[in-house]
Chains A and B, each alone.
Chain A
Amino acid sequence: MAANWAEKISAFSRSPSRFLSGTTAEAFLAELLRELRDDRASYNIKVILLSPLCEHPSLLCSSESVGEETALELMSVFAQCPPKSVQFRCHLLVALTSVLVCTSCVSGHSRASQDFLELLFQLAQDTSDIHGDISLRSLRSTACSCLRELEACCPCLLSQRLELLSGLRQQETSGLHQAYAGLHALVLRNAVYQLTQETGAGAEHLKALLGGNTSVAWEADQDSGLMGIKVSAIMPSLISGSMGTVPTLQTGPDCKELRSVLSSLLEESYLLTALCQADLLHRLTEVVAMVPGIPPAILRTQLLRLLGTSEVCLFHTTLLMKCAFTDSLFSAEDEAFILKRLVVLSQHPLLSTPEKLFYMDCILHFPENRPISCGDGDETLPVLLTMRLASALVPTVFNDSATLLSRFNLLSLVNLEEGEEGEGEERSGLVYLYDHLISLLHIVENGGSREIVVTFFRAAFLFLFYFCHVELYCASLTEKLCKLYLHHTQLGPHLITLADKTHDRMKESKWAVGLLQALQNVITKAPLAKLTLQDLRWHLKVLARVAEEGEISQCSTLNFLSSIIMPSSSTLCVSGDWRLGNSVLTVCRWLLVHPSLDSLLIPLADVLQHLACRYGDTDIQDHARLYYTLLTTLSREKLAGVLAQGAIEGGTRVKKRSLSCLITEGEGLTSMLTIHQTEKAVLQLTEANSELQKEIKEVEFNSQGPDEVNATLEAYRAQFSDPSFASEITLKYLLSHVKDHDSCFDQLFSIRLHFRLSDNHYEDLHDISVHCLFRDRPSPTVQLNLKPRRPYPTTLHASAIFTTQDGQSWHTALPDIHVAFQQVFMPLPAPPTWGQCSRLRVFEGLWDKICSEDRDSITSLFCCQVKEAALNALVEKHFLPYLVSDLSNTDEFKVLFFLPPQSHMLLKIRSEEDAVHFNIATDDWELLPHLSSYLLTITSSQDEDRLSA
């Protein structure tokens, strides 16, 4: 059982959607809660059971009310849990927080969340662990974490408890003071923020706030004018890099209460772990930024300690302080020092690579005291970052690729900057970068790994991006890339992408065209004797890309093509390799639309004709013939029109990847061959009248069947040895047009309906064919045979393909079909010869079995207020087909719903003094929630019926 649960829960967290398609969220939640309440389950397993509630509460609790109920359940589990299961109780608190926050119970101030809040405060104040069990401390600490999360998710929830929190923090001498400090700082920050949002709030209000401890915020709200405005939205961090956005609270210089709170928090910050310290300092930075009455210098006592730290998050807080206070806390020397420090940290041998990369990113977003640019989030160099300083960060071949590219980028920026000013040093910087690029190229040449290849091309792109104006280097790079390509043709796709991306990104630069031209040159000039098939494959890909460029003369490409297909020099044509032939054709296709086509006409025609006659693959021959015909018969404009369509869309080149798109749309041929998609729904399926659905067979009272209960039940159950027995339900629908009138769909033919399941409660459905559907004739009936795996309500997605009168084919989606729970009901599938007595015996037999077994069986009771007459009507209206007892026997109705494949729901309905009791017994407890919602619906609608009558 335990292993089962662990497996089940891990399946859920791997893919909640797939898991829930096999059951329902309600059922799974019910199952979880049941197991959590079960005393026999071990607490280790119970901890695992809580994880879906912690991680996906909103999936399991679909509404606020479900969340509220779940939370109440969990709280009762908490209350009953023995104090020594500390771990489990901590996990429970986390789960409760998750459920209440994510189902909006906290922001809705629900009863459960108020109770939970009280519970948390009780736990947080319970210091009985000081002399007792140390492990109980983690309960207090978790309670603080939960309070803090509630405050973060629902700002100012705890504003009224500031004084209490402050007291708790000050009294605590164990390591737990950290938990209180974090909580205190967050509540303080939110409360101060709230004050800044109120007009006229000042020093007095601040003082009141710090001393206030009345009750929970939302209770105080109603009568406190001060707390009139609620900060309900979740609050973003106030220090975000853009200046002047921090709201302020005008207090004048008199705010010694706040100052003393801040000092005390700062003083103790040293005692916190680095992570909590960073968090606390950041919160206090925000508070100081909001209250101009407190000088930022209050933070100065901590600064040196933080600037010297080896902890990344602590150093980061000083950068954020710098961002918030600029020159009111940091002098120009400080700024220079911090920047130097950042450079040191970016390449420190003892720091990890991710940390160094982070620091490098901080250099490019350095919070300057007097920024020149507006800081729009782009990378900018700090003014103080000189070449000399940055030289510590030059890329080398020993760097990992992320570091290398980051440094390459940074140094390129520095070079660009300096290039505008000086002459000496920046030249050497550029030389260095170029040399570095070339040493990477050598490594690639010598068989570097895939990672190095990718890194090299990324570095090359960066170099071109920043320095495409330095022609000397770019020309030399082109030359080297061509040489590289000849030796490693498999790098073809990298080169094509490099050309594409430089072309797209640097519109004014001609470098990409130059590279392609150079590649064409080396490919066509290389001796054919050494050409391998592998090389040829890549050459043709590159040449196809070259042929896209109108500025590049294509004569050499054509020469190359003719020389490779001529039998004297190659066996290509004889081999009949379809892919290669297709690559040749792709080049030809681009040549057909090349602006210099006139000069290429005869040699191109020769190539195509040769392919059409000699190539060893019929498909290639056919396509070559088509191209040949197009080339020789169409005028240039038409040819361009036929072939170029679709190649240029929305200004960007769209590459046709599909191998079959050798010709493009001409005479609406494709429109006949393709299936169109309707914009709106055309068809719908509506439930046929229920009388049609289920025929009620009159059964004789005294016909044959076994006499004794057990024998009857056995005979009944024996029927299920045939797996197909009573396994299907049949639902009837009418196929009709939707209301919207579109005359072109008035007459539809060869309609094929396809159904898709939304979960896996049912077996896949077969497609259904309908010959025709005319708007003015009666709707045909469609019969859906559903085979349940689990008889739950479900939704079917339906679509149809059909033909219209003009011969076009269409695909359309139909509105979803909802299969209700009661649609799955079937009468007892007893042998048709059995009489009512036998049926009753089956009922009794099943009832007893269910009451005695405990596996999945369960009994339950549903009550409602219905008058006797109304009850009879209700039974007649809803239960007649399933009634096992005699309708005239109004003392007790016995109803049996059979749900394929093998579930039963048995009802004994009886009017008692106060209400009607529906005694329920079922062999599948997971069906209960569905049944009770069904009963609720029919009994309440009965009320309405009566009212309206």
Chain B
Amino acid sequence: MTIRALWIISHERGENVSVRFSRRFSTVEHRAKSLAGSSYVAVPEESTVLHLLLTELGLSDSGKPYVALRDDCLHRPRSPAVELHVDGPGKGILWPVLAISQGPLILACLPLVDVPSEPRPPLASLLSVSQGLTLLAGLQTFLLGSAGKPDGDGLASRLALLPSILLQVCPLGTPLDVPMLGAPAIPTVPTSVGTQKQPAWKTGTYRGRAVVNIALIETVRSMQYGNQSRQDLWDVYGTVTCKCEVEGVLPNVTVTLSLPQNGSPLQDILVHPCVTSLDSSILTASSVDSSDSSTFSGPYKFPFSPPLEPFRLCSYTSEVPVPPILGSYQLKEEENQLRLSVTLKLHESVKNSFEYCEAHLPFFNREQMGAVEVKVSTGQLDVSKEKNLLVWALGQKFPKSREVTMDGRISFAGPTSGPSDPLCTGLTAYIKLYFKVPDMTLSGCCVDQNSVQVYSSAKPRIVTSRELQSKEYFIWNSTGAAPVSSGQMML
């Protein structure tokens, strides 16, 4: 349940690669040597690890189209645990090297294999693997911030903090915690008096007026084909984020999610580790098993003791009968022109009050747009600066009919060619919708203010909110071939 070494690497698309931080845990290495016996492979020096890891991740020699070691079709890197083939004196295979990458950073670590290493044990039998993944993800969030956006100076200063951070969270290779993202902004007192034990994930105790903030965000994804032979797809998932400022070492809070009558049950519920107990009926419904006969549809009670920082209390998925916006998109090729016609229809169950709603129509593998003769029934149409994207801003409301249209033709005659995309060739094209609707959810799920129970002396202020947002909401041109995106259609 320990790791032998840790590396943090930065790169720019496989170039300017450097190891920004590395740490070897010598006592764990000592154990590895003794556990593996003759099959022991020592951790090579930094530069070797770097080279091997990049090859394995397909990032080395970015200028060369084919490198046998990197591109062999037989070899399938079993991400997230890859193997490094160490040559030279300490020859052998170093496994399992966990590597996760985001943006310019690659974080890697080598968990200790604490079960017999011959034959190679399955990844699933090594607790250190999931622990390693948790540690790496925690370090990644710490280094890049929760938005995942790196900035050079910020990154450098956080890298400089790593030695003292690791002293706390992983002093000798056994990960104890993930790094905290800065000190909590709320006033706390660190001492604990009395017999109640302080949770290790809570650095102090809150003092002040009790406030509980609960935000429910539902995200809808969709793939619409407008085609008889192909079923449109959409799915919804929700997250409940809490920020609780409540006094006490281990205060009890209960949040209840409830559904409207006839609402379809919440599925695939995942909870934060601070949830103290769960009812088995809450976990039964699953999106992958439609034969499920359970009729439980709430209320969903989540008793927990909150940490100081904001956290994701739970998440769920839900099957809703219709997509919020149903679209149709038709393109016709006419000489050097495209004739297009778009209809978007807002479902009657959806509140007609958006924070924003935009439709993006990108055109790939063509020249830049020339003349754009397109009319829209509502909203405003813009051509992007690069002249390869139409942006249709629909504003805050659909018209009373709840239907909007776009018609017209575009010629492509720009001086330079636009962006290319190997997927969207010919008439394969899509509209991507971006929208956010405050104060509603598609599943109907809500957190009633009155249902939030806080067991503390003072009466807390409780704030709840909910919203619906889109993500990966695609409407494909029905006259072209659209890529398959789900296995539902094969059944």
B-binding residues in A (CB < 8 A): 13-17, 47, 51, 54-58, 87, 90-91, 94, 97-98, 101-102, 130-131, 134, 138, 141-142, 145-146, 148-149, 152-153, 172-179, 182, 233-234, 236-237, 239-241, 268, 270-279, 282, 304-305, 307-317, 319-320, 323, 337, 340-341, 343-344, 348-350, 352-355, 357-358, 361-362, 364-367, 376-377, 387-394, 396-398, 401-402, 405-406, 409, 411, 425, 428-429, 431-432, 435-436, 439, 443-452, 454, 457-458, 460-462, 490, 493-494, 497-498, 501, 505
B199 within 8 A of A: yes
Q: How far is the CB of B282 from chain A (nearest CB, A)?
A: 7
- Asked if A354 and B98 sit within 8 Å, CB to CB, the answer is yes
The count of chain B contact residues (Cβ–Cβ below 8 Å) is 124
- Asked if A350 and B73 sit within 8 Å, CB to CB, the answer is no
Q: Can you list 19 contacts pairing A with B, beta carbon distance less than 8 Å?
A: A55-B25, A90-B171, A152-B27, A174-B192, A175-B198, A237-B1, A268-B197, A272-B200, A304-B279, A341-B286, A349-B237, A355-B137, A391-B488, A394-B487, A397-B423, A402-B77, A402-B80, A449-B422, A494-B73
Given contacts A275-B178, A447-B422, contact A309 B167 (CB under 8 A): no
Given contacts A142-B167, A149-B172, A358-B123, contact A497 B72 (CB under 8 A): yes
Q: How far is the CB of A467 from chain B (nearest CB, A)?
A: 15
Given contacts A358-B130, A361-B124, contact A305 B286 (CB under 8 A): no
Chain B interface main SS type: loop
A-binding residues in B (CB < 8 A): 1-2, 19, 22-27, 29-31, 34-35, 45-47, 58, 65-66, 68, 70-81, 98, 100, 114-116, 119-127, 129-131, 133-137, 163-164, 167-168, 171-178, 190-192, 194-203, 219, 221, 235, 237, 239, 250, 268-273, 275-280, 282-284, 286-291, 312, 314-315, 317, 365, 420, 422-423, 425, 483-488, 490-491
Given contacts A177-B197, A308-B275, contact A365 B122 (CB under 8 A): yes
- Asked if A365 and B124 sit within 8 Å, CB to CB, the answer is yes
Task: Report the Cα distance A142→B171, complex, angstroms.
Answer: 7
Q: How far is the CB of B304 from chain A (nearest CB, A)?
A: 10
Which residues from A are CB-within-8-Å of B219? 349
- Asked if B31 and A152 sit within 8 Å, CB to CB, the answer is yes
Which residues from A are CB-within-8-Å of B134? 274-275, 311-313
- Asked if B27 and A446 sit within 8 Å, CB to CB, the answer is no
Given contacts A101-B30, A273-B177, A348-B268, contact A237 B127 (CB under 8 A): yes
- Asked if B197 and A149 sit within 8 Å, CB to CB, the answer is no
- Asked if A312 and B130 sit within 8 Å, CB to CB, the answer is yes
- Asked if A87 and B167 sit within 8 Å, CB to CB, the answer is yes
Q: Can you name the residue of chain B whose Cβ is closest to the Cβ of A241?
A: B125
- Asked if A308 and B270 sit within 8 Å, CB to CB, the answer is yes
- Looking at the complex, which one of A173, A178, A436, A445 makes contact with B176 (CB distance below 8 Å)? A178
- 14 further interface pairs, Cβ-Cβ under 8 Å (given A275-B177, A397-B483): A55-B23, A152-B174, A236-B35, A237-B125, A305-B271, A308-B269, A308-B270, A313-B133, A340-B286, A349-B235, A388-B291, A391-B488, A394-B486, A493-B66
Which residues from A are CB-within-8-Å of B272? 309-310
Task: Report the Cα distance A367→B124, complex, angstroms.
Answer: 9
- Asked if B121 and A240 sit within 8 Å, CB to CB, the answer is yes
Task: Report the Cα distance A94→B23, complex, angstroms.
Answer: 13
Task: Report the Cα distance A460→B487, complex, angstroms.
Answer: 19
Give the 8 A-B CB pairs with smallest separation, nearest first: A394-B487, A240-B115, A354-B80, A365-B122, A178-B200, A402-B79, A391-B487, A310-B270
- Asked if B270 and A348 sit within 8 Å, CB to CB, the answer is yes
Task: Report the Cα distance A949→B8, complex, angstroms.
Answer: 64
- Asked if B167 and A91 sit within 8 Å, CB to CB, the answer is yes
Task: Report the Cα distance A445→B268, complex, angstroms.
Answer: 38
Which residues from B are CB-within-8-Å of A439? 483-484
Which residues from A are CB-within-8-Å of B29? 102
Which residues from B are CB-within-8-Å of A179? 176
Q: Can you name the residue of chain A whose Cβ is closest to the Cβ of B305?
A: A270
Which residues from A are CB-within-8-Å of B190? 134
- Asked if A447 and B127 sit within 8 Å, CB to CB, the answer is no
Q: How far is the CB of B302 from chain A (nearest CB, A)?
A: 10
- Asked if A361 and B78 sit within 8 Å, CB to CB, the answer is yes
Which residues from A are CB-within-8-Å of B74? 461, 497, 501, 505
Task: Report the Cα distance A390→B490, complex, angstroms.
Answer: 11
- Asked if B200 and A271 sit within 8 Å, CB to CB, the answer is yes
Q: How far is the CB of B438 from chain A (nearest CB, A)?
A: 21
- Asked if A454 and B22 sit within 8 Å, CB to CB, the answer is no
Q: How far is the CB of B116 from chain A (nearest CB, A)?
A: 6
Q: How far is the CB of A126 from chain B (nearest CB, A)?
A: 17
Q: Which of B66, B125, B129, B196 has the most chain A CB within a 10 Å cutoff? A: B125
Which residues from A are CB-within-8-Å of B198? 173-175, 177, 271
- Asked if A310 and B312 sit within 8 Å, CB to CB, the answer is yes
Which residues from A are CB-within-8-Å of B2? 152
- Looking at the complex, which one of B98, B119, B176, B273 makes contact with A309 (CB distance below 8 Å)? B273
Q: How far is the CB of B7 from chain A (nearest CB, A)?
A: 11
Q: Which of B46, B80, B276 has the most chain A CB within a 10 Å cutoff? A: B80
Task: Report the Cα distance A622→B131, complex, angstroms.
Answer: 64
Which residues from A are CB-within-8-Å of B235? 349
Task: Report the Cα distance A417→B361, complex, angstroms.
Answer: 43
- Looking at the complex, which one of B26, B200, B276, B277 makes contact with A175 (CB distance below 8 Å)? B200
Q: How far is the CB of A46 from chain B (nearest CB, A)?
A: 12
- Asked if B287 and A432 sit within 8 Å, CB to CB, the answer is no
Given contacts A344-B287, A358-B123, A358-B130, contact A175 B199 (CB under 8 A): yes
Which residues from B are CB-within-8-Å of A278? 1, 127, 130-131
- Looking at the complex, which one of A282, A361, A396, A409 makes contact with B484 (CB distance below 8 Å)? A396
- Asked if A313 and B131 sit within 8 Å, CB to CB, the answer is yes
- Asked if B315 and A428 sit within 8 Å, CB to CB, the answer is no
- Asked if A153 and B30 sit within 8 Å, CB to CB, the answer is yes
Q: How far is the CB of A185 from chain B (nearest CB, A)?
A: 11
Q: How far is the CB of A847 from chain B (nearest CB, A)?
A: 43
Task: Report the Cα distance A446→B426, complex, angstroms.
Answer: 10
Which residues from B are CB-within-8-Å of A87? 164, 167
Task: Report the Cα distance A400→B397, complex, angstroms.
Answer: 36
Q: Can you name the residue of chain A whose Cβ is closest to the Cβ of B291?
A: A388
Which residues from B are CB-within-8-Å of A458? 73, 75-76
- Looking at the complex, which one of B30, B75, B126, B177 makes contact with A102 (CB distance below 8 Å)? B30
Task: Report the Cα distance A323→B291, complex, angstroms.
Answer: 27
- Asked if A377 and B287 sit within 8 Å, CB to CB, the answer is no
Which residues from B are CB-within-8-Å of A236? 35, 114-116
